[in-house]
Structure formats: structure tokens, C-alpha cells
Amino acid sequence: MQDRGWEADELAAFLKSVEGDRLEAAWRVSAMTGMRRGEMLGLCWAAVDLGQGRLAVRNAIVNVAYEDLNSTPKNQARVIDLDPLTVTMLREHRRRQDAERDGYESDEGLVFCREDGSPIHPQSFSQVFTRAVEKAGLRVIRLHDLRHTHATIAVKAGVPVKGTSERLGHESPAFTLKRYAHVMPGMQAEAAALIATELKSHA
């Protein structure tokens, strides 16, 4: 299936629609960091620094032959800075999680887990996302497409390709540039107009 993320207004509508949801913070983190599904599910509180507003991507949970396995990030471990609202949501998420902890069968320190503390199955995570999208009445995309939504919005917003590449954990900025070159034409037209305006002001 071709990658097809949301536009900024669609993402904003989705995040609004999941307010109060048990996994609200998960959808926010996914949208605001571009992390892969397995990286989200493997994220531990020990790798989250809410005081500094950042998290480290060190682990991933992947499903192989119907068995969930701990793995490493696809390319390399990385640190991702978080915006203030995402930090606030994670603080609230941790408070709610602390209230659930008495009912845990196991506690692996995961940021996003099931009500009993066990890891969320990757496929189940995707299905919950799909149901949330359908409930919101939005154009249906895959959970993986939140990653592409993050990248596309970042590029359109003028975030340097190197920074976007580092957030996504791509092998190189060149890979990111090639992957999202389709977003560039409109940006270049805007750049051309701005340069022309600047020159005209000095004519």
C-alpha cells in the first residue's frame, strides 16, 4: 500500500477526537515524533526524560511468527526532542498508569502497555488506531502513515532535512530527501517568490 499520510488539519482533528482516550498520549507521541510502531511499543520510562523534554529510542517490539520479540531500532538509537504539550500529556499518562499499576501482572517499565502491564501486540496496536480513526470519521490511514504525516508536515514547515532525518532515524538525510522529494516543488515556488520579493525591495 502506498504511503498516504494526513494533512495538518486532519492530524489536528484526530488528536482532538482522541482526547481522554487511554492511549491518547501514544497517538500524540507517534504523531509528534514519527517513531515506528515497534519503537513506540518498546519505549520504556527509563528512556524518557520529561524534565529535559526528550526521549531516547533504544528498543523496539516486533512480531515474528506470531511471537513478540524485543529488538533494536531499524537503523540506530536516537534521541528525539518533545514539544511541551506532548511532555504534559506524558506526565498525565504516567499518573494514570500509576493508578493501574496495582493490577499489573508484570511491570516491564513500558510507557505504552496493556492494562495488566504486559506489552501491546503490534497488530493489536494498529487495530486500535484504525478503530479510533474510523470513530473520528476521518480518512482512513495506517498507523505507519502517522510517521509519514510527521515527516511531510515537518518538511512543509521548513524543518531542515537533516533534523527530520535524525528524528525519523533514517540512514541519511539523502534518504529522507529522496523519500519526501514530492513535497518540495511547492516549497521551492514559495522560496522563489520570497527571493524575488527581497530583490525587488532593493531595486
Mean pLDDT over each residue of the chain, to the nearest integer: 88
Percent of the chain with pLDDT over 70: 87
119 neighbors 61 (Cβ within 8 angstroms): yes
Domain ranges of the chain: 8-201
126 neighbors 143 (Cβ within 8 angstroms): yes
Distance separating the N- and C-terminal Cα atoms of the chain: 51
Closest CA relative to residue 29, chosen from 4, 50, 5, 1:
50
Half-sphere exposure of 114 (CA within 13 A, CB side): 11
- At 49-77, the pLDDT tens digits run 999 999 999 999 876 444 455 655 565 68
pTM beyond cutoff 0.85: no
pLDDT of residue 33 exceeding 70: yes
What confidence score (pLDDT) does residue 65 get?
A: 45
- At 88-115, the pLDDT tens digits run 999 999 999 999 988 898 899 999 999 9
Query: What is the distance, to the nearest Å, from the Cα of residue 39 to the centroid of all Cα atoms in its chain?
Result: 10
As a whole number of angstroms, the longest Cα–Cα distance in the chain is: 73
Topology of the domain comprising 8-201: hpI Integrase; Chain A (1.10.443)
What confidence score (pLDDT) does residue 95 get?
A: 96
C-alpha span between 21 and 47 (Å, rounded)? 23
pLDDT of residue 2 exceeding 60: no
What confidence score (pLDDT) does residue 156 get?
A: 85
Helix (H, G, I), strand (E, B) or coil at 64: strand
C-alpha span between 135 and 88 (Å, rounded)? 25
Q: How far is CA 88 from CA 36, 83, 167, in A?
A: 21, 9, 20
- Greater pLDDT, 195 or 176: 176
What confidence score (pLDDT) does residue 136 get?
A: 97
Query: What is the distance, to the nearest Å, from the Cα of residue 50 to the centroid of all Cα atoms in its chain?
Result: 17
- At 122-161, the pLDDT tens digits run 999 999 999 999 999 999 999 999 999 999 999 888 888 8
> CA 173, 5, 96 angle in degrees (round to 5)?
95
